[in-house]
Amino acid sequence: MRPPEPGKYGRVVEQDGVVERIVEAADASPAELGVPLCNAGVMCAAAADMRRWLEAVTPNPGGGEYYLTDIVALAGAEGHRVVAVEADFAELRGINSRGELAAAEAVLQTRLRAAAMENGATCRPLRPSFSAMTPGWGRMSRWAPTSSSQPVSRSPTTSRSAPSATSRASTSRPVR
């Protein structure tokens, strides 16, 4: 994959279409960090070979971590030709935060909605969800609109405060 911001992804170092190694971003040289092809963490090999290579992986001297990407070099040392198969970043993106999860979900929802409409379904526009940080609701509560499209009416005295329990119940539901 070729992410728009490679950041902490490991880089796939190739020579003439053959993968020589995968270098973790933390261990990469400035030249290697410039490589746009990144590791998505998907590998395919015969089970017996994969098992043998995984057993041969040793801890990284710098931090004691086991780099599963070391199996690329182990396979090459045995004479196997290792190649990269590229796929779209949207299919392989890493998810390490709620924001990244929301972005990935939006891609999936867009694709599913397009497929449904292609097959004759009518889809209404997506409606936003709302976030609120209000004392008494917990650290962060998420609220999504229900099927009711009635606006919440508030008196001037409550316009800056949280909606009452009655108005919350009639217009929104908690999402957990």
Closest CA to 10 of 53, 27, 77: 27
Alpha-carbon distance of 141 to 133, in angstroms, equals: 7
What tokens appear for 147 in the block? 């099927």
Q: Which residue reads 């299919």 in tokens?
A: 91
* Range of weakest confidence among 45-59, 87-101, 109-123, 146-160: 146-160
Q: What is the pLDDT of residues 59-111, one digit of tens each?
A: 988 788 898 999 999 999 999 999 999 999 988 888 889 999 998 998 899 99
For residue 173, what is the enclosing H or E element? strand 172-174
Closest CA to 21 of 84, 74, 73, 99: 73
Domain-wise residue ranges, the chain: 11-90, 95-126, 130-174
For residue 73, what is the enclosing H or E element? helix 71-77
The pTM of this model reads 0.61
